């Protein structure tokens, strides 16, 4: 009798809202136990393919659950961007220190992020950072050293990784379901159909992505010889 009285004190509308909330929570929180194991290689040489990016593309309704921002750094060492490829998430900040003893002038004209940092040297780059608010690939360069190229891959969510020197990577915590998986590499042709795959994920076993990518010839300018030493060269 006491239990019945206690239950009757809860209004019907309140109980209905609680039930709806529980149901919505169940639909909004899918299982995050699946994973994707990645192994990529160069189709021409058969060698492992490093610096390739693989991203699980989630529908808009799931993206907020995997949103994550952080601070990253792209350094300039011996007139090269380090790292050459950096993977970040939308809304993250990237710092651009200059570890060389010469000046650099970092810029990008990419649609996902247009910016320019003035000439600066070692120790002068404390406040030189940018926030990347749009997904996409941002190609960065140096106005002084034309061969310097770097890439910032701005992913929609945290479900994106870069392959290591063995061409391997792992994405954990993928929700159960079937999603589009995008592969990107600086030398991969943008119109290649193989760069977009549909993969099913479940929590019973890991999904696998094993591919050999056909790459375009590297047309990047070769770095200039150190004939003379100035503050710019």
Angle at 110 between CA 83 and CA 196, to 5 degrees: 75
Sign of CA dihedral 222, 47, 191, 68: negative
**Nearest in space to 174 (alpha carbons), one of 35, 29, 30, 28:** 35
Q: Is residue 39 within 8 Å of 209, Cβ to Cβ?
A: yes
pLDDT one-digit tens code per residue, 14-55: 444 444 444 444 444 455 579 999 999 999 999 999 999 999
How far, in whole angstroms, is CA 189 from its chain's centroid?
A: 19
Residue 192 pLDDT: 86
**Nearest in space to 185 (alpha carbons), one of 76, 42, 30:** 42
**Nearest in space to 99 (alpha carbons), one of 74, 77, 127:** 77
Residue 217 pLDDT: 86
Laid out side by side, the sheet with 113-116 consists of: 85-89, 149-155, 136-142, 106-110, 113-116
Beta carbons within 10 angstroms of residue 211's beta carbon: 18
Q: Which domains does the chain have, with CATH numbers?
A: 32-67+158-217 (2.60.40.1120), 69-156 (2.60.40.420)
Q: What pTM, to 2 d.p., does this model score?
A: 0.82
């Amino acid at each position: 009798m006491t239990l019945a009285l206690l239950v009757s004190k809860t209004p019907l509308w309140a109980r209905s809202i609680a039930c709806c909330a529980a149901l919505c929570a169940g639909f909004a929180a899918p299982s995050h136990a699946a994973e994707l194991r990645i192994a990529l290689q160069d189709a021409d040489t058969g060698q492992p393919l490093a610096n390739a990016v693989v991203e699980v593309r989630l529908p808009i309704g799931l993206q907020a659950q995997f949103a994550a921002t952080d601070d990253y750094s792209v350094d300039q060492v011996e007139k090269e961007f380090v790292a050459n490829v950096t993977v970040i998430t939308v809304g993250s900040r990237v710092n651009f220190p200059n570890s060389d003893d010469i000046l650099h002038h970092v810029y990008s004209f990419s649609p996902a992020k247009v910016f320019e940092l003035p000439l600066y040297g070692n120790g002068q780059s404390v406040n030189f950072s940018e926030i990347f608010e749009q997904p996409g690939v941002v190609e960065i360069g140096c106005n002084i050293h034309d061969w310097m190229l770097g890439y910032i891959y701005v992913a929609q969510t945290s479900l994106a990784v870069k392959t290591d020197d063995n061409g391997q990577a792992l994405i954990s915590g993928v929700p159960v379901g079937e999603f589009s998986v995008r592969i990107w590499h600086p030398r991969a042709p943008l119109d290649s159909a193989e760069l977009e795959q549909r993969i099913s994920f479940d929590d019973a076993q890991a999904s696998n992505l094993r591919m050999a990518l056909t790459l375009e010839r590297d047309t990047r300018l070769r770095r200039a010889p150190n004939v003379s030493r100035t503050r710019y060269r």
